[in-house]
Structure 1
Amino acid sequence: MSNLPLDLVEEILSRVPATSLKRLRSTCKSWNNCYKDQRFTEKHSVIAAKQFLVLMLKDCRVSSVSVNLNEIHNNIAAPSIELKGVVGPQMQISGIFHCDGLLLCTTKDDRLEVWNPCTGQTRRVQHSIHYKTNSEFVLGYVNNNSRHSYKILRYWNFYMSNYRVSEFEIYDFSSDSWRFIDEVNPYCLTEGEVSLKGNTYWLASDEKRDIDLILRFDFSIERYQRLNLPILKSDYETEALSVVREKQLSVLLKRNDTLEREIWVTTNDKIDHTTKNLLWIKFLAIDQRTCYHWSCVSFFIDEEKKMAVFCDGYIGGINETSRRMFYIIGEDKYYRELYVGDSPIRSHRPFVFNYVPSLVQIPQATVIPKRRRQQLSLVLQRCRASKVDVWITDKIDTKEVQWSKFFTVDVDIGGRAMLSYDSFFIDKEKGMALLCGL
């Protein structure tokens, strides 16, 4: 391919899946340059075939998961789920959020990191000066002419009896700054957030009307919007939300009267910030005898195989450790449990999610040169000595001005001890002053 025009090479490479292209970047310099070119990576995200991998947050680290559901219905092979090993940087992750191939990670030592597992690129985002413990974070973007402008939403709620205080802040990658947004409080309790087409979706409960719903945060207008669930009956309870191949939403519901679960999937042609009403179809019904003990927090579905994979953890096993379990559910009451190990950590349940590798570049903060601190300077001539003192301010505020001597110089040159000047300026770095006059 070395003899091909560069634009044709780019056209070919833009169709290569992200993980394969990652391995090809060391082939030659021009290919590696494509890998780093934002224009190329944006084109690649639109044209290249999507890969759907499975990642799992377990014991504060991210692991890749191999899931094989082939030939289950034909009884040719048993399903298999295998943890392939820890991936990514050495950080203890307490929370994770996936958006557009990027992972927004909150760490146990209270840091906020953005990480692209495909490219290995990371960036730390400094907390706002208004940051409070127990703040929640989600990542999103605004689509500007096929270019994604990334933002982070921080939201914090404090409850005391019937009193509630909320804060909402936006971090903009382009300006590397936080700012408050007002009049956005949705007055809902939220959980189970996911990202779809740059916007964030939650399972929510209206505090005043006592109804369940789906809440969306639209990053383009920075406002919350309410959407419908498939069923509004009081005998149903929402349990988990998931994204299907970056196109649709799926929700897990539990019937309180029978403890049965149902998975519903949206059927809208597309879901974006303009969608006002969600259309739903029942995907799978789960017999209560196989799931009565679940406390499920995450799942994903395979539409083609008509199956769902759930991840859960519960206290048990040796020394009351937390047992990590996968449950595979299919049609005709198919059910399989797969044990993937114990964990000594009880505070965080395992979390499994579909990950789509991407070459997207994490926007880096623009380094703005620090402005020189403005100071006053003063030149004093001693009346009884041929010396000039140059002073500069150390501190200026409304109450006081503090001075320090910059330097002293003898000006008795050729018997002319007094200087005549109209203006001057100093150069602190060179330790010099220039006096101008007639």
Structure 2
Amino acid sequence: METAEKRVMIASSSQRKRKRRKIRRIIRKRRRRNEKLVTAPSSLPNDVIEEIFLRLPVKALIRLKSLSKQWRVVIESLSFAERHLKIAEQYRLVHPKVMVITDEKETGWTLRPDTDIGFRTFCLESGSVLSFSLINFPQGFFNCTFVSENCDGLFCIHSPQSHSVYVVNPATRWLRQLPPSRFQISMHKFYPTREDWRFMDSLFHLAFVKAAAGYKLVWLYNCENYNADASFPSEGVTKCEVFDFRANTWRYLSCTPSYRIFYNQKPAYANGSVYWLTEPYNARIEVVAFDIQTETFRLLPNIIVAIADSDPNHIDMCSLDNHLCMSKREHVTMIQDIWRLKPSEDTWEKIFSIDLISCHSPRTEIRDMFEWSQKDMVEPSTPVAVCKNKKILLSHRCSRGLNPSLAISFKWKMMCEE
């Protein structure tokens, strides 16, 4: 009896094996047939096909990779990726796009704020939605999310209240979790008060940049112990951590600026350097620059007098077309002036003067608690992009969408150059 059962089991096992082999043969035949179709002698030359691929969106390229081994090798090559990025940047100069990071689904329903983040791409000219990606971050952010600036389509998302640090590509839904920085680990050894969080705001803004050998995360922040009444800078007031993607570790830089970083301003990346505003010393603010290649700090030699003598809360710093730009908004006249730094770093030129009162708001695509008509706010609006017809896209640091802790603007206004 046992022998008969064993024979039945062996026979059924053999049948399953034959069935699996048959399925594998069918799959191999289909793959060979597909490869013959895409590599047929009548197909286009490889250089022509590559030129076509260079002008396709990322999602289309992902689908094409599964059709041919040859295509996959081309699409995944570093040279193709660099050329594709360059063409995409040239296209964005003519047809600007805006990536909005939100806690809402495509249908408008609120996501799980701890783990889900939506990435919505808008056409700046028409205001229409071009794409939407919903990405889940397993570790979560404890309702406190901060987002870096865009770097080749990548974003770094982190939370000061957890160990979460992610690099994400919204176009492909790829993400990589990074180890926590040293200050993130040390912060969770004590329970900071509300006042502690205020003075540690500079910890929340990091720079995600591209270097010759790859990407870097630069985290410059103020030390816990300092003299609030100091009239001059001193050593040891800041720390800087740099993340090495190849080694997958954070490392300290030994030589850091002797100026405390202004807590309410994100760093700006332009022309191979990262820039931070400092807290006022002797009623004057400075701009600290960090060279990405040499990993050394320096002070900008010349700052516009109207900027240097201002309260740092009244000015803003950003990057436009790979140039460092600074803005100041007058409280009474509601005129905002925008200057651009020349590559030599010794001369500034005024590129925009915007009358915020006379400008209108033709489109508002995203709900927000921020009222643009508030005239008592002295913080300037941040230039995001410049498009055709002398129009500039502005956002405001107080415009933060449905999740008040999500550190990115959700509402924009199309403002005309004066």
Interval containing the TM-score (normalised by the shorter chain): 0.5 to 0.7
Give the counterpart of 2:319 among 226, 243, 265. 243
- 1:230 deviation in Å? 4.1
User: CA 1:68–1:117 in structure 2 vs 1: closer, same or farther (change >3 Å)?
Assistant: closer
Give the counterpart of 1:151 among 216, 231, 239. 216
The answer for the alignment partner of 2:335 in structure 1 is 261
SS in 2 for 1:88: strand
**What is the correspondence of 1:283-298 to structure 2 with a 5 Å cutoff?**
283-287=352-356, 290=373, 292-294=375-377, 298=382
Aligned counterparts of 1:225 and 1:231: Cα–Cα separation in 2: 19
- 1:221 deviation in Å? 1.1
Post-superposition CA distance 1:256-304 (Å, at most 9, x none): 5x25232414273xx4xxx432432231322458551445664424242
Q: Which amino acid aligns with 1:46?
A: K
In 1, are the aligned partners of 2:74 and 2:80 still within 8 Å (CA)? yes
Give the counterpart of 1:221 among 271, 294, 298. 294
In 1, are the aligned partners of 2:145 and 2:405 still within 8 Å (CA)? no
Aligned counterparts of 1:29 and 1:263: Cα–Cα separation in 2: 53
Q: Which amino acid aligns with 1:205?
A: T
SS in 2 for 1:44: helix
Give the counterpart of 1:56 among 100, 119, 131. 100
User: CA 1:352–1:298 in structure 2 vs 1: closer, same or farther (change >3 Å)?
Assistant: farther
Post-superposition CA distance 1:208-257 (Å, at most 9, x none): 3432343322111112233344443635754333332x43333321225x
SS in 1 for 2:74: helix
Q: Which amino acid aligns with 1:105?
A: I
* TM-score for the superposition, normalised by structure 2: 0.61
**What is the correspondence of 1:2-401 to structure 2 with a 5 Å cutoff?**
2=39, 3-16=43-56, 18=58, 21-22=61-62, 24-26=64-66, 28-48=68-88, 49-51=90-92, 52-59=96-103, 61-69=117-125, 80=127, 85=132, 87-90=134-137, 91-92=140-141, 94-97=145-148, 98-107=150-159, 109-129=162-182, 131=184, 132-133=186-187, 135-136=203-204, 137-143=206-212, 148-160=213-225, 162=227, 165-190=237-262, 191-202=265-276, 204-227=277-300, 228-232=302-306, 234=309, 238-244=314-320, 246-256=321-331, 258=332, 260-266=334-340, 268=342, 271=343, 275-287=344-356, 290=373, 292-294=375-377, 298-312=382-396, 343=402, 345-348=403-406, 350-351=408-409
Aligned counterparts of 2:406 and 2:397: Cα–Cα separation in 1: 9
Aligned counterparts of 1:159 and 1:109: Cα–Cα separation in 2: 19
User: CA 1:198–1:101 in structure 2 vs 1: closer, same or farther (change >3 Å)?
Assistant: farther
In 2, are the aligned partners of 1:139 and 1:151 still within 8 Å (CA)? yes
Aligned counterparts of 1:159 and 1:313: Cα–Cα separation in 2: 25
Post-superposition CA distance 1:367-386 (Å, at most 9, x none): xxxxxxxxxxxxxxxxxxxx
User: CA 1:284–1:182 in structure 2 vs 1: closer, same or farther (change >3 Å)?
Assistant: same
Q: Which amino acid aligns with 2:145?
A: S
Aligned counterparts of 2:278 and 2:357: Cα–Cα separation in 1: 24
User: CA 1:27–1:301 in structure 2 vs 1: closer, same or farther (change >3 Å)?
Assistant: same
Aligned counterparts of 1:149 and 1:32: Cα–Cα separation in 2: 22
- 1:64 deviation in Å? 1.4
SS in 1 for 2:266: strand
Aligned counterparts of 1:155 and 1:62: Cα–Cα separation in 2: 28
User: CA 1:170–1:313 in structure 2 vs 1: closer, same or farther (change >3 Å)?
Assistant: closer
- 1:171 deviation in Å? 1.7
Q: Taking every aligned residue pair, what percent have the same amino acid on both sides?
A: 18
In 2, are the aligned partners of 1:297 and 1:351 still within 8 Å (CA)? no
Larger RCO (CA under 8 A, 6+ residues apart) = 1
User: CA 1:110–1:53 in structure 2 vs 1: closer, same or farther (change >3 Å)?
Assistant: farther
SS in 1 for 2:70: helix
User: CA 1:282–1:276 in structure 2 vs 1: closer, same or farther (change >3 Å)?
Assistant: closer
Q: Which amino acid aligns with 2:208?
A: L
Aligned counterparts of 1:350 and 1:166: Cα–Cα separation in 2: 25
User: CA 1:283–1:22 in structure 2 vs 1: closer, same or farther (change >3 Å)?
Assistant: farther
Aligned counterparts of 2:130 and 2:80: Cα–Cα separation in 1: 33
SS in 1 for 2:86: helix
Higher mean displacement: 109-118 or 8-17: 8-17
SS in 1 for 2:223: strand
Alignment size in residue pairs: 307
SS in 2 for 1:34: helix
User: CA 1:347–1:152 in structure 2 vs 1: closer, same or farther (change >3 Å)?
Assistant: closer
Post-superposition CA distance 1:348-384 (Å, at most 9, x none): 4542599xxxxxxxxxxxxxxxxxxxxxxxxxxxxxx
Aligned counterparts of 1:263 and 1:62: Cα–Cα separation in 2: 33
Aligned counterparts of 1:243 and 1:353: Cα–Cα separation in 2: 19
RMSD: 3.7
Larger-gyration structure (1/2): 1
Instruction: Name structure 2 gaps, 5 residues minimum.
Output: 1-37, 104-112, 188-199, 229-235, 359-372, 413-418
Post-superposition CA distance 1:37-59 (Å, at most 9, x none): 22321233335544342122334
Q: Which amino acid aligns with 2:222?
A: N
* TM-score for the superposition, normalised by structure 1: 0.58
Aligned counterparts of 1:43 and 1:218: Cα–Cα separation in 2: 25
